[in-house]
Amino acid sequence: MDSKCVQFFQNKTILVTGVPGFLAKVFLEKILRVQPDVKRLYLLLRSADNESAMERFRNEVLEKDLFRVLRNDLGDANFKDLVLKKVVPIPGDISVDNLGLKNSDLLQHMWNEIEIIVNVAATTNFDERYDVGLRINTFGPLNVLNFAKKCVKGQLLLHVSTAYVCGEKSGILPEKTFKMGETLNGNGNLVIETEMELMKQKLKELQKQDCSEEEIAQSMKELGMSRAKLHGWPNTYVFTKSMGEMLLGNHRENLPLVIIRPTMITSTFSEPFPGWIEGLRTIDSVIVAYGKGRLKCFLADSNSVLDLIPVDMVANAMVMAVAIHAGKSGSQDVYHVGSSCKNPITFGQLHDLAARYFTKSPLVGRDGSPIIVSKGTILSTTAQFGLYMTLRYKLPLQMLRLVNIVYPWWNGNKYKEIDRKIKLAMRLVDLYRPYVLFKGIFDDVNTERMRLKRQDISKEIYGLLEFDPKSIDWEDYITNLHIPGLITYVLKN
């Protein structure tokens, strides 16, 4: 491919964190494919040493099917040679100073050479332990920023956040930055350092009480969720990501900063080929559970807009933002990368498409027979869902509990097993509720302006950097690309 297609990245040295994550991998593949004349790509991987970092890179990045187009285009030998010359996997950790780099010579060399810093590293568990969430999602970005400030040639820090830092707000949600200490519910002032101290104090108390690792983990999860809800966020993930944005905005000084806020990331739309995905993303757990016949009832508003966006469109927006904003001293820009504003799809539409797909092409059960799916029941309020669960499961469970008390020798484990499943279902509903009942639309006026600038850079680049959701035909994408991709790459059928 002609190296002039993305002129900006020619001879640039870039640091990417968050490898081998889904989005970071797609971004890496994109740069190597459209601009093989990039000077160097440093990839920060959580590993003990250089050897284990290289092993993770080989196993969890290079060997993935994602790279097959580039490998086929170049040939195996040339592909390996390109990677060897351009890509440097390094062991590190964004949760510590200097990103955990121990080799002082390498550190100095990186500070002298790196021009673009792309931070994709995050923990995305909704109910993450508070200590882990604070270290990675809140203070991790600050550590990356402090590293970026030491880069002599540093031109830009691009930080990947999430559109859902808005919490459970409804209506049109603008691409605006957070003020330091801002809360979503207006209750008091959020002091990030106090949150860190509160977490440390709680951790110390639990350790003094000789709590087990399991008890400590559960307490840390509960603390994160309670602190998030106290300040107006629905879960630890979006709360800690919001605080990370605040620290970046407050401490950036003159370093240009771009914050990319994707919505729910899905499989590739077109590049390097359609339908590639890794792991179950947010909505995919629901699709797969439905296809396996396990989802008889679900809490969701059929009219709620599900803001889905293919991963290659997010990577393209990142590439474009870097090229536009690098070197613009003092600038700070926020971009929503999603579909709800320009080309919305509702939960009801997705449900219909999934029902049609699995009715026509059912998954096969362990016994070799096709899994027959029913349309299922969608309930639009938590109260309706709670009533359904009570009548359908909890009352029969109480009868089983009574039998278990009167006849303890009669299948007592069944009560415990069903009780555990119901509690798990209710916990998942509580975690997913802010997304399946979401009433917001993410304004993307900044992103639209960036789309229009594609023509200004190069005629060649226009088609290579597609991130306009209006180009997505949802019926075609869901039924012919996304669900087949889930089956091929996640379920491996």
Strands of 358-434, DSSP E: 377-379
Structure tokens at 137: 């999602």
CA distance 67 to 65: 5
Active site residue 130: no
Catalytic: 237?
yes
Q: What angle is formed at CA 414 by the lines to CA 413 and CA 420, rounded to 5 degrees? A: 90
Residues in the chain: 493
Handedness of CA 468, 469, 471, 472 (dihedral sign): positive
- Helix, coil or strand: residue 400: helix
Q: What are phi and psi of 157, to 5 degrees?
A: -115, 120
**Closest Cα to residue 314, out of 13, 24, 34, 10?**
24
Using CA atoms, how far apart are residues 383 and 85, in angstroms rounded to an integer?
59
Report the candidate in 91, 109, 111, 110 with the shortest Cα–Cα distance to residue 101. Answer: 91
Distance of CA 287 to the CA centre of its chain: 17
Give the distance from CA 292 to its chain's centroid: 24
What does 61-89 look like in DSSP terms, one character per residue?
Answer: IITSGGGHHHHHHH-HHHHHHHHHHHEEE
Q: One of 237, 290, 335, 489 is an active-site residue; which one?
A: 237
Strands 13-17 and 116-119, by their bridges, are: parallel
Q: Which of 25, 30, 221, 241 is catalytic?
A: 241
Long-range contacts (CB closer than 8 Å, 24 or more residues apart) made by 76-82: 82/32, 82/36
Residue 386 CB: number of other CB atoms within 10 A?
15
Q: Which of 59, 60, 9, 55 is nearest to 30 (CA)?
A: 9
Residue located via tokens 């994709």: 120
> d(Cα 58, Cα 41) in Å, to the nearest integer?
15
AA identity, residue 155: Q
Active-site positions?
A: 237, 241
